[in-house]
Amino acid sequence: MIKNEHYTLANGIKIPKVGYGTWQITDKSICIQGVLWALENGYRHIDTAAAYGNESFIAEAIMQSGLLRQELFITSKLPAEKKGYEIAKEEFYATLARLQTNYLDLYLIHAPKPWRNAGDIDYTPDNIASWRAMIDLYKEGKIKAIGVSNFSQKDIEALIEATGFTPHVNQIKVHIGHNNLETKTYCDQKEILVEAYCPLASGRIFQQTDLEKTAAKYGVSVAQLSIRWCLQFGTLPLPKSTHEQRIIENLNLDFTIKKEDMDILSKWQ
């Protein structure tokens, strides 16, 4: 069953094949309930970020779940606008405090540039400094794996060239109609696992009637088809929902899309 399957990162760390995404879940009670439903129904991989503003809610949900910390895989991210060696360390420890844990399974640089007012500034030196801090935290055992998010090949190569350390993960937007193939191919060559955020295209996937026909062929929903496509495309999907039945459905992925349909969906625009 998918809920019991893992990818193995380049450093040997196992990561559950599907994660529960928490982007835009900012209401405390809704976030706690969503995470609880996810955990109760077999998810063991929770993806968050300091920028999401819900790390403390996730900590509360985990505490209420009664699960042991070592049963879970928790990811968070360094805010895109927070760059530099000391800043990265300060932000990391603040995240640990909010999540009420003494280590992270995965920590990512959220983006190569700040989300707003980035201008034409070259943030490469700042990203390298942040990356050095994360490498040190990794070597200290505070993080089991480290990576990046929204990074292009050029951005990643700058980190590797400066430090000799290759990210374990690159979390990028991937969904049917947006396969991000160039970056995906590069990451595959470097043994960097691609995590697919927005595997349902922020809901836009449900507007595509052609996908409904393919989903019906397999007796599944459009969401299940889309998440399964991400898996067979070789990425780790992070679906988000705050509805219990959809949370359950999004992990019920024990079917296989035939090669001819994969080929069509992978070229779909």
Residue 103 annotated as catalytic:
no
Residue 140 φ/ψ region, left for φ over 0, alpha for ψ in the -120 to 50 degree band, beta for the rest: alpha
Q: Active-site residue among 7, 20, 43, 52?
A: 52
Strand partners, 193: 169
CA gap 37, 42 in Å, rounded: 9
Per-residue tokens: 262: 């994969």
What is the SS3 string spanning 157-204? HHHHHHHCCCCCEEEEECECCECCHHHHHHHHHCCCEEEEECCCHHHH
Nearest alpha carbon to residue 223 among 197, 246, 243, 255: 246
Active site residue ranges: 52
